[in-house]
């Protein structure tokens, strides 16, 4: 068996670093234009180069998303942008539109092309089509079952990438006009307003302003609202099927989300590769995935066609069991103190959890806090405030401090 690539989202430079340090083999990121995440922080051109260089310094890969379906006006700046990406040494460019594919071939003939999930590759013949055009990889549609994935793998030689975790789209991999119609924001140019998460009612045309719940619920219903994909339990099948890259969705998600999901799947993949015959899903992995902001989980189309149970009808909100409250900047072994950048209100007396890249997490009570000048403080209330605190065990940079949401001391903040 070949070890699959674990591919993580990088919405900005901090998320890129966190993804790689917590165990991703590769990252995908987008510039300020030509990607499908207009409301992510994204990267300026010089930041793309910086991100690629940092990724390569760790011996890992960086792919750039250019997967919009462009209009004529979008094409003016595109050739220069493609040449810049190639000049930075990107390991691949992710495209969905045949016109963009052609422009890459003309302007950067040696740049590997990955066919985006937006291209909706749902069968082996489509994949062979891209293979014949010498694309390097196809990102398969999320609407495929495991049987579909296996058949495509058997009939093709090209690299295949599959989504294993993250938000699902109500339409075929983004082919949705709800945002265009209801909010005048083009989903396929990176501006989706996510109307699939909105609340809807039924109105009979001769009774204007008389709204009826679609279900027996006076609050309305979220009839388009999909659960989040989670294929953690199916890592063995995906690996043995010979799929090349496992992709995590979430360029607009938090640092906490990126680091936690990457760490869980890194451990799962590594443990399976080390001992496939005795591999078991650890309960703590599932527990970790519940600590981040998420919707209820589903296996999507992986086992069979979806049913009404893959939707969430009562709410569009996320849930999570823990809040991300701080990021370790450095550790002083002499004083046994960690320097921390605050990300949420922290105070003395709270019980927290510290998660680290490549190490087990541990729990401790905050016994003392100090400001940048070394003065003791009872609370750190200011965003990104630099503080220090004693820690029960040595910690490494990029370790994360978390607090259980339903703890009494959290409710008192």
At which of 248, 283, 310 does a domain end? 310
Residues 245 and 383 both lie in one domain: no
Residues 118 and 152 both lie in one domain: yes
CATH number for the domain spanning 256: value is: 3.20.20.70
* Residue 100 resides in a domain: yes
Residues 287 and 329 both lie in one domain: no
* Residue 184 resides in a domain: no
173: pLDDT strictly greater than 90: no
Label residue 104 by pLDDT band (50, 70, 90): very high
| Helical spans, DSSP H, in 8-123 | 13-21, 45-57, 78-88, 98-107
Residues 271 and 384 both lie in one domain: no
Residues 34 and 116 both lie in one domain: yes
Residues 378 and 343 both lie in one domain: yes
Structural domain that includes position 371:
322-411
* Residue 62 resides in a domain: yes
Burial (CB count <10 Å: 0-12, 13-18, 19+), residue 93: buried
Q: Please give the span between the terminal C-alpha atoms of the chain, in angstroms, as a whole number.
A: 50
* Residue 374 resides in a domain: yes
For residue 353, give the 3-state DSSP assignment: strand
Per-residue pLDDT tens over the stretch 231-274: 999 999 999 999 999 999 988 889 999 999 999 999 999 999 99
Q: Which of 358, 316, 318, 362 is nearest to 338 (CA)?
A: 362
CA angle 288, 306, 221 (to 5 degrees): 80
pLDDT of amino acid 214: 62
Residues 100 and 167 both lie in one domain: yes
Per-residue pLDDT tens over the stretch 58-103: 999 999 999 988 889 989 999 999 999 999 999 999 999 999 999 9
- Count: domains in the chain: 2
* Residue 409: CB atoms within 10 Å: 15
* Residue 193 resides in a domain: no
CATH number for the domain spanning 405: value is: 2.40.30.10
Q: Which of 321, 300, 159 is nearest to 242 (CA)?
A: 159
pLDDT of amino acid 346: 95
* Residue 61 resides in a domain: yes
pLDDT of amino acid 177: 72
Residues 329 and 299 both lie in one domain: no
At which of 310, 339, 362 does a domain end? 310
Residues 97 and 242 both lie in one domain: yes
Cβ neighbors of 221 (< 8 A, separation 6 or more) are 199, 200, 213, 214, 215, 313, 314
The whole-model pTM stands at 0.86
* Residue 362 resides in a domain: yes
* Residue 406 resides in a domain: yes
Our CA dihedral for 48, 140, 358, 350, rounded to 10 degrees, sits at 90
Residues 104 and 32 both lie in one domain: yes
Residues 37 and 129 both lie in one domain: yes
| Mean pLDDT within 207-231 | 69
At which of 276, 310, 344 does a domain end? 310
pLDDT of amino acid 207: 80
Residues 116 and 41 both lie in one domain: yes
């Amino acid at each position: 068996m070949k070890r699959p690539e674990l591919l993580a989202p990088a919405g900005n430079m901090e998320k890129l670093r966190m993804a790689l340090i917590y165990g991703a083999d590769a990252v995908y990121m987008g510039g300020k234009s030509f990607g499908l995440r207009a409301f992510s922080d994204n990267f300026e051109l010089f930041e793309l180069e910086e991100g690629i260089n940092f990724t390569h310094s760790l011996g890992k890969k960086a792919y750039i998303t250019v997967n919009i379906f462009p209009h004529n006006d979008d094409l003016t700046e595109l050739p220069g942008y493609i040449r810049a990406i190639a000049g930075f040494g990107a390991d691949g460019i992710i495209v969905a539109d045949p016109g963009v594919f052609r422009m890459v071939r003309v302007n950067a003939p040696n740049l590997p092309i990955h066919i985006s999930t937006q291209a909706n590759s749902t069968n082996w013949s489509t994949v062979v089509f891209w293979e014949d055009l010498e694309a390097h990889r196809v990102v398969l549609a999320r609407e495929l079952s495991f049987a579909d994935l296996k058949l495509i793998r058997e009939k093709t030689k090209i690299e295949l990438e599959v989504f294993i975790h993250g938000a699902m789209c109500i339409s075929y991999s983004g082919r949705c006009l709800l945002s265009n119609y209801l909010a005048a924001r083009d989903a396929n140019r990176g501006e989706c307003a996510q109307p699939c998460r909105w609340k809807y009612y039924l109105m009979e045309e001769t009774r204007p302003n008389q709204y009826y719940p679609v279900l027996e619920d006076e609050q309305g219903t979220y009839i388009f609202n999909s659960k989040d994909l989670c294929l953690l339990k199916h890592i063995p099948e995906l690996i043995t099927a010979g799929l090349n890259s496992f992709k995590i969705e979430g360029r607009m998600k938090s640092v906490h989300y990126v680091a936690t999901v990457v760490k869980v799947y890194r451990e799962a993949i590594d443990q399976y590769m080390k001992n496939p015959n005795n591999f078991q899903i650890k309960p703590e992995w599932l527990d970790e995935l519940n600590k981040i902001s998420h919707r209820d989980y589903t296996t999507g189309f992986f086992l069979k066609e979806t049913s009404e149970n893959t939707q969430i009808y009562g709410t569009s909100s996320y849930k999570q069991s823990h809040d991300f409250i701080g990021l370790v900047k450095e550790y002083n072994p002499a004083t046994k103190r960690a320097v921390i950048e605050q990300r949420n209100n922290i105070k003395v007396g709270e019980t927290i959890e510290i998660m680290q890249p490549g190490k087990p997490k541990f729990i401790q009570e905050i016994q003392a806090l100090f400001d940048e000048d070394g003065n003791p403080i009872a609370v750190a209330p200011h965003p990104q405030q630099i503080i220090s605190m004693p820690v029960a065990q040595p910690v490494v940079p990029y370790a994360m401090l978390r607090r259980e949401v339903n703890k009494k001391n959290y409710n008192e903040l």
